[in-house]
């Protein structure tokens, strides 16, 4: 859904140890993974090294407020992937427009917070283009949701 092209700058928020970051880098994108857990940042860097990827960087940051002033955020991004915890990313969604990304993919384990955060993104200039649900945990009430947003050109 993100449709990453070689040379694009991609931001992966709540990247963990690189489950999405590394495959995006393999497609030739310059990927910046940002995670709030420093131990995961260390593991992400090690995973990139073990996979021979030099077009990816990992940074630790508090992802619950304005982080647009961080050094890694200065150049902007073509695309953004965000995979927040169950509580969602309401505050962060307010700042995503600052990066100039034309496309955002939001992966969520909580449809309620995805719906709330989608409202924030729509109010900030994005439109919901596509959405889906994956039942990765059969016989439970838990589902994974994915939503594609594109910058509204109107």
The full DSSP string for 80-134 is: EEE---TT--HHHHTTGGGGT-SEEEEEES-HHHHHHHHHHHHHTTEEEEEEEEE
**Predicted structure pTM score:** 0.94
The full DSSP string for 51-62 is: TT--SEEEEE--
- Structure confidence at residue 90 as a pLDDT band (50, 70, 90): very high
The DSSP 8-state label assigned to residue 66 in this structure reads -
pLDDT at 135: 87
Domains of the chain: 9-151 (3.40.50.150)
For 96-129, the pLDDT digits (tens) are 989 999 999 999 999 999 999 999 999 999 999 9
Mean pLDDT of 11-36: 97
pLDDT at 89: 96
**Is 91's pLDDT higher than 80?**
yes
pLDDT at 68: 85
Q: Which of 53, 98, 109, 131 is catalytic?
A: 109
Most confident of 19-23, 95-99, 142-146, 149-153: 19-23
Is 15 labeled as catalytic in the residue annotation?
Answer: no
End-to-end CA distance of the chain: 22
């Amino acid at each position: 859904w993100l449709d990453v092209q070689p040379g694009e700058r991609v931001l992966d928020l709540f990247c963990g140890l690189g489950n999405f970051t590394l495959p995006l880098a393999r497609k030739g994108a310059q990927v910046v993974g940002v995670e709030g857990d420093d131990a995961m940042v260390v593991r992400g860097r090690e995973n990139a090294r073990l996979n021979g990827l030099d077009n990816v960087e990992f940074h630790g940051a508090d992802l619950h407020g304005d982080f647009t002033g961080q050094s890694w955020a200065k150049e902007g991004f073509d695309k953004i992937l965000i995979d927040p915890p169950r509580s969602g990313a309401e505050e962060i969604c307010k700042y995503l427009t600052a990066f100039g990304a034309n496309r955002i993919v939001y992966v969520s384990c909580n449809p309620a917070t995805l719906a709330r955060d989608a409202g924030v993104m729509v109010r900030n200039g994005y439109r919901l283009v596509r959405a889906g649900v994956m039942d990765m945990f059969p016989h439970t009430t838990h589902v994974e949701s994915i939503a594609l947003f594109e910058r509204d050109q109107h």
